[in-house]
Amino acid sequence: MKVEVLGNAQDGGVPHLGCECELCEQAREKPEEAKKIASLLLEEGDGENSNARYLIDATPDLRYQITGKYIDGVFLSHEGLGHMTGLLFLGKESHNYEGIPVYTSEKANEFLQKNDPYRLLKDRGNIDVYEIEDGDEQNLMNGCIEIMETEHPRVNTNNFCFMIHGKEKKLFYVSDVHEWSHEIKQKVKEADIAILDGTFWSADEIDRYSEVSHPTITNTMAEMEDVNTEIYFTHLNHTNPAYREDSEERGELEKRGFEIAEQGMEFKI
Pair 38, 7: CB distance under 8 Å: yes
Average the pLDDT over 24-51 and give the result: 88
Both ends of the chain: CA-CA distance in Å? Answer: 5
Name beta bridge partners: 164: 145, 171
Q: 47 pLDDT exceeds 70?
A: no
What CATH number did the domain enclosing 76 receive? 3.60.15.10
Q: What is the pLDDT of residue 46?
A: 65
Give the residue from 102, 100, 16 showing the smallest Cα distance to 57.
Answer: 102
Q: What is the pLDDT of residue 68?
A: 74
Give the tens place of pLDDT for each residue, 185-224.
999 999 999 999 999 999 888 766 666 778 999 999 999 9
Q: What residues contact residue 115 under an 8 Å CB cut-off, 6+ apart?
A: none
Exposure string (b/e) for 35-57, b if CB count within 10 Å is 16 or more?
Answer: bbbbbbbbbbeeeeebebbbbbb
Q: What residues contact residue 29 under an 8 Å CB cut-off, 6+ apart?
A: none
- Secondary structure (3-state) at 7: strand
Q: Return d(Cα 125, Cα 121) in angstroms, integer.
A: 6
Q: What residues contact residue 105 under an 8 Å CB cut-off, 6+ apart?
A: 76, 78, 131, 132, 133, 157, 158, 160
Give the residue from 112, 113, 111, 185 showing the smallest Cα distance to 148.
Answer: 185
Q: 153 pLDDT exceeds 60?
A: no
Residue 88 domain boundaries: 2-268
State the total domains in the chain: 1
Average the pLDDT over 99-124 and give the result: 95
Give the tens place of pLDDT for each residue, 76-88.
998 888 999 999 9
The pTM of the whole model exceeds 0.85: yes
Q: Return d(Cα 75, Cα 101) in angstroms, integer.
A: 9
CA angle 259, 15, 77 (to 5 degrees): 60
Please state the φ and ψ torsions of residue 79, each to the nearest 5 degrees.
-100, 30
Q: Return d(Cα 89, Cα 96) in angstroms, integer.
A: 8
Q: Return d(Cα 122, Cα 103) in angstroms, integer.
A: 13
Please state the φ and ψ torsions of residue 38, each to the nearest 5 degrees.
-55, 130
- Secondary structure (3-state) at 234: strand
Pair 7, 37: CB distance under 8 Å: yes
State which H helix or E strand residue 37 sits in.
none
DSSP annotation of 36 reads P
Q: Return d(Cα 111, Cα 30) in angstroms, integer.
A: 37
